[in-house]
Structure 1
């Protein structure tokens, strides 16, 4: 419970006790008891929206399990298409319980047809209810929040260069002329990459020095210059203090020189929210690539290391990232092909003939074809989220929240393409490459390929869903091992307790992928539905525990992640419809296949209505809300002090001296004195 320890709500036990290893289910009651309002006040609206994904999934798949297991599965089971031997049922494929077992031309397929229409209507209804609920929550959250700097501030990029003025003078002159009654102040963005590196290096050296000074044994109060302090020349404590003083001198020198390193971007603050919103949505000059405005993030949400100030630079970065994403997606086909080789032993024997005797062993074949493929795929896929964060960070986004949302979308489509489509198509059509050249046959191709991978995706839900929820989230084994190793090798001080934040960019795509699997296989292989439902049951209680006890919010978007959830669900429905068109065609029920065609069209119409109805309120708050909130602030005596602090809220932390955080200390004092070393 790192968050509770950091907030001193529970004591951090330094001594190990055997009783701490005994299992306890008290955490389930504590995670279940708090209300949604408690979660909202404790972790923000993003946490509420994150949990609403699980609520939505529970409602959808509770209905899906009832229809799929009680109605569709018995009809699949009673079919004769696959010639099932009921005396040897335990050794038969899971396809026996899929739509593949229903006889061609059977009237039972109309039951599946009706179920698809009813299920689509239920999912769309639940989507609408959730979108409406979250939109209203977003407005209520805005009204209940205190004044925030990002509500009054605009990020201005591509400030034109004038020889007689600096960027700062140009900003003040422009906004004083065109917004004289509302313009408050501005803060220029500067090139602080070098300074930030020096400050981080000095902070690490300080922590290392504190750690060395805390040791009682004089023989241990030294370090080495090599990797992780384990090798290289021996450095004693006095030499280390001298090195730290040199770092302080370099920091002060660079900080003095940073004043003139302005870039063509600034944070401009206004006296009202309405004026800030107007500046954001109105083109400022005749040339649209100058004075480009956008919503400023919260000061704590700003990502300073990479800042693209020019319109052309940001555009070029986006192109480069798209190309890189495509290349990474294509390269991932290599592990996907390997995984499918494990899942299909005939392919594995064809690639590696010398393994024929080994893979024919029953125990080996069950492990290789059952658990191992999904495990390998999940391990390889765990390397992708950091890459997506890196790609999003170089696109020019200046907010952690925008970086994570962009990485979330990239990872979602990466997962859909590589884990779903690549596995499905490579697993059943690996040696028929010509089918990819015929787009008109896509429904038929998917109709053949998708049902055949049901058993693989069931094991994937168990390994990547059930297992990782407990091992990676609840038990947190990786952070435990890493903190122990880092504490020994890196000699980090224990004065700061690091609290993680919820990695939305990696968790939301995974949840949405399970929603896609459940919706897609709803009528194809209903046997997967209980596994998906159990995942959402586990996830609901585990993530409530994490949000209350483990994670601390790093930013607040006001629930904007829900738009990603809505779009992904609509895509899953349309994918189900396309597969249904192909299935009914292959099963020789052309009337049902033709009657399914309007369904994706109706779904797209519903999606268009929802986007017009709700999406504008997610892009920005209505003028009515902004004006009412400004009027409410006029009667708040604390507003004047807020505007006084707004002028310095957007200063780069690297530029700020230690005096800003420690008022009693001099900015000229040595780093060692300031840190009381």
Structure 2
């Protein structure tokens, strides 16, 4: 690819960005679009914009950029939750590390690459982009030590920033946990493979007198014993510490019989999967894993076609009728510089819904767990198909040949990445810049708002607000981080475009968190380990590729110094996994004990206990379209000697003298069976009357 083709792609995307951002700055001021661009504020404050005609409404302005930059991290924490803070810190980390990499590589590495060969250089617009990569360096060049030193600096600073950012995330996590509201602080334990209690009458908070006697008060309760048992039950404890201890220990000698874990927050419950037996989960996980792998290999077909567009000579040989069409300079630049990344981006739009479907089939009991699983699947998919498949070869046959020789993959990557850096640069322009403009414009939301208001004439629902799509946006940011690390030393021309993407993403996503998206549930910062693992993987992969490049360039000094860098990075990873990552998997007992004491002294513990009775009730008016109603399914509550709650098998003595409702399969409880029966009876009655009238 020529520099002119890259400039053509950059010009198209810059024009689209300016156009979309200008439209956004005007459309956000229109009263009819307030639900699209200020959905979170409307849902929380129930405010509306005035419909008066003001000329300023139709003039583009950068005021939203200023407000986005002025927003502090504490405001994001209180507004959008800890996951938004983690996402923001990933962007800040990327801006810091790639700013340093851009300074070092553009002023230190890029001139060495450009003048690496004794050749006559053409004008820059007519020059090939390969002359700016490490592939233009001579073999046994004495200047390859500069690349090695820059690699050391980037890796060292990245590890330092990772450690400091990880420590801050741990602090933020517990600060956020202390500042939560009552309904979010009610931690409970979910007993899988046990009794299931989900309806409004399923949970009973025992009074102090009954706790002292150690007997449940069942006379005044509204519990009904079901005809069949479900797969799970909720059990509440007096303190967070007690719930944590019970969730971590084995209840029986058979680990598959009673499985305990901390329950999600009430708003985070995914009721549709609550009834699934625990023994089904491992089968579902294996099936979804196989389905994801098959989907990855099916995706090789469009990627192979896209790869052929970047190799214009091979494309003309296979399709001779394109020779006349591709003679024009502008058409050639458009096909090689812009079209491949656009087609790939169109195909990639099918990935997040598919992976979300796979994540749902795994059987998670919380929305956040489902979205986090989909995020990991989308990340693996994009890294494999966008990076490795595009790098290894241009045809599916050669890709399979490369996979059959795993020991040759590092050398194949070392040869291919300098050649494919041009495609990755255009991919950053198309998938990065243009997607951010589409994100801030909310094109789908804008179109749906117009159709709903002016075509369907539907009433506006102020409570319906989108949640942030972490499973699509976080993998995209981490993929660009991978491209930045792997291409920084080998093809540094990508860094200015990548750095501009992260700056624009920092502004756009902060604006979206503040105004557009509403946080219904939160993982507690569990997206940070995903970002950390992806960054460590990117660093190690970059070092291995550089080791292969130094070997191809026959530079034993640079290659020899790269091996210790790989070992040091792996040791740093092991230390961080022991020091920081366990804090994201569970809560320290010391912190929970301090929080329990603080609540007891302030009197908040009684308020929390009162909220437990209705915290995990699945009311019919709050159900989502994909949630299943579980009605009239009780939980049997008993007490231990220490007053904490437990759950056990029903016995005849504990049964309540009320009629037992016949319980069909839980998935049928969401259907309006009674209404259907009444409708059928009414229809039969009307048909009978009609027949009598005819016979008379």
Q: In the alignment, which of 111, 122, 125 is matched to residue 160 of structure 2?
A: 125
Q: Which residue of 2 aligns with 1:143?
A: 178
Q: Which residue of 2 aligns with 1:396?
A: 363
1:43 aligns with 2:10: no
Q: Residue 468 of structure 2 aligns to a residue in which SS?
A: coil
Displacement of 1:10: 5.0
Q: In the alignment, which of 540, 546, 562 is matched to residue 506 of structure 2?
A: 540
Q: In the alignment, which of 332, 344, 353 is matched to residue 299 of structure 2?
A: 332
Structure 1: distance between partners of 2:505 and 2:588? 34
Displacement of 1:442: 1.5
Alignment of 1:560-571 (within 5 A): 560-571=526-537
Structure 2: distance between partners of 1:257 and 1:514? 55
Q: Is the 8 A contact 1:182 1:275 kept in 2?
A: no
Q: Is the 8 A contact 2:98 2:499 kept in 1?
A: yes
Unaligned runs of 5+ in 1: 187-255, 658-669, 672-677
Displacement of 1:28: 1.1
Structure 2: distance between partners of 1:656 and 1:402? 20
1:4 aligns with 2:41: yes
Displacement of 1:542: 1.1
Q: Which moved more, 1:550-559 or 1:3-12?
A: 3-12
1:60 aligns with 2:128: no
Q: Which residue of 1 aligns with 2:317?
A: 350
Displacement of 1:376: 0.9
Q: Is the 8 A contact 2:466 2:516 kept in 1?
A: yes
Alignment of 1:184-223 (within 5 A): none
Q: Which moved more, 1:111-120 or 1:595-604?
A: 595-604
The structure-2 alpha-carbon separation of the partners of 1:479 and 1:266, relative to structure 1 and needing over 3 Å to count, comes to same
Unaligned runs of 5+ in 2: 1-37, 218-222, 624-673, 676-696
Q: Which residue of 1 aligns with 2:433?
A: 466
1:504 aligns with 2:470: yes
The structure-2 alpha-carbon separation of the partners of 1:581 and 1:184, relative to structure 1 and needing over 3 Å to count, comes to farther
Q: Which moved more, 1:147-156 or 1:459-468?
A: 147-156
Aligned length: 578
Displacement of 1:643: 0.8
Q: In the alignment, which of 112, 126, 137 is matched to residue 75 of structure 1?
A: 112
Q: Is the 8 A contact 2:382 2:475 kept in 1?
A: yes
Q: Which moved more, 1:28-37 or 1:569-578?
A: 28-37
Give me the TM-score of the superposition, normalised by structure 1.
0.80
Displacement of 1:86: 2.0
Q: Which residue of 1 aligns with 2:403?
A: 436
Q: Is the 8 A contact 1:185 1:647 kept in 2?
A: no
Structure 1: distance between partners of 2:215 and 2:129? 67
The structure-2 alpha-carbon separation of the partners of 1:516 and 1:466, relative to structure 1 and needing over 3 Å to count, comes to same
Structure 1: distance between partners of 2:224 and 2:354? 34
Q: Is the 8 A contact 1:182 1:272 kept in 2?
A: no
The structure-2 alpha-carbon separation of the partners of 1:354 and 1:36, relative to structure 1 and needing over 3 Å to count, comes to same
Q: Residue 462 of structure 2 aligns to a residue in which SS?
A: coil
Q: In the alignment, which of 111, 114, 128 is matched to residue 149 of structure 2?
A: 114
Q: Residue 231 of structure 2 aligns to a residue in which SS?
A: strand
Displacement of 1:536: 0.8
Q: Is the 8 A contact 1:308 1:396 kept in 2?
A: no
Q: Residue 450 of structure 1 aligns to a residue in which SS?
A: helix
Q: Residue 152 of structure 1 aligns to a residue in which SS?
A: coil
Structure 2: distance between partners of 1:335 and 1:352? 17
Q: Residue 189 of structure 2 aligns to a residue in which SS?
A: strand
Q: Residue 305 of structure 1 aligns to a residue in which SS?
A: helix
Structure 2: distance between partners of 1:87 and 1:381? 37
Displacement of 1:599: 2.1
Q: Is the 8 A contact 1:54 1:539 kept in 2?
A: yes
Structure 2: distance between partners of 1:529 and 1:308? 49
Q: In the alignment, which of 491, 495, 511 is matched to residue 529 of structure 1?
A: 495
Q: Is the 8 A contact 2:231 2:275 kept in 1?
A: no
Displacement of 1:375: 0.9
Q: Residue 275 of structure 1 aligns to a residue in which SS?
A: helix
Q: In the alignment, which of 272, 290, 305 is matched to residue 323 of structure 1?
A: 290
Q: In the alignment, which of 239, 255, 280 is matched to residue 313 of structure 1?
A: 280
Q: Is the 8 A contact 2:42 2:462 kept in 1?
A: no
Displacement of 1:482: 2.3
Displacement of 1:147: 4.0
Q: Which residue of 2 aligns with 1:277?
A: 244
The structure-2 alpha-carbon separation of the partners of 1:330 and 1:510, relative to structure 1 and needing over 3 Å to count, comes to same
Q: Which residue of 1 aligns with 2:194?
A: 159
1:379 aligns with 2:346: yes
Q: In the alignment, which of 603, 609, 615 is matched to residue 643 of structure 1?
A: 609
Q: In the alignment, which of 45, 48, 59 is matched to residue 22 of structure 1?
A: 59
Structure 2: distance between partners of 1:550 and 1:183? 50
Alignment of 1:357-376 (within 5 A): 357-376=324-343
The structure-2 alpha-carbon separation of the partners of 1:641 and 1:89, relative to structure 1 and needing over 3 Å to count, comes to closer
Displacement of 1:15: 7.7
Q: Which moved more, 1:416-425 or 1:353-362?
A: 353-362
Structure 2: distance between partners of 1:613 and 1:118? 23
1:608 aligns with 2:574: yes
Q: Is the 8 A contact 2:231 2:274 kept in 1?
A: no
The structure-2 alpha-carbon separation of the partners of 1:296 and 1:445, relative to structure 1 and needing over 3 Å to count, comes to same
Structure 2: distance between partners of 1:528 and 1:271? 56
Give me the TM-score of the superposition, normalised by structure 2.
0.78
Q: In the alignment, which of 56, 61, 69 is matched to residue 32 of structure 1?
A: 69
Q: Which residue of 1 aligns with 2:126?
A: 91
Q: Residue 365 of structure 2 aligns to a residue in which SS?
A: coil
The structure-2 alpha-carbon separation of the partners of 1:439 and 1:546, relative to structure 1 and needing over 3 Å to count, comes to same
Structure 1: distance between partners of 2:498 and 2:143? 25
Q: In the alignment, which of 290, 298, 303 is matched to residue 270 of structure 2?
A: 303
Q: Which residue of 2 aligns with 1:675?
A: none
Q: Which residue of 1 aligns with 2:543?
A: 577
The structure-2 alpha-carbon separation of the partners of 1:51 and 1:653, relative to structure 1 and needing over 3 Å to count, comes to same
The structure-2 alpha-carbon separation of the partners of 1:417 and 1:308, relative to structure 1 and needing over 3 Å to count, comes to farther
Q: Is the 8 A contact 1:427 1:453 kept in 2?
A: no
Q: Which residue of 1 aligns with 2:560?
A: 594
1:635-669 alpha-carbon deviations (Å, 9 max, x no partner): 23343132122022112233999xxxxxxxxxxxx
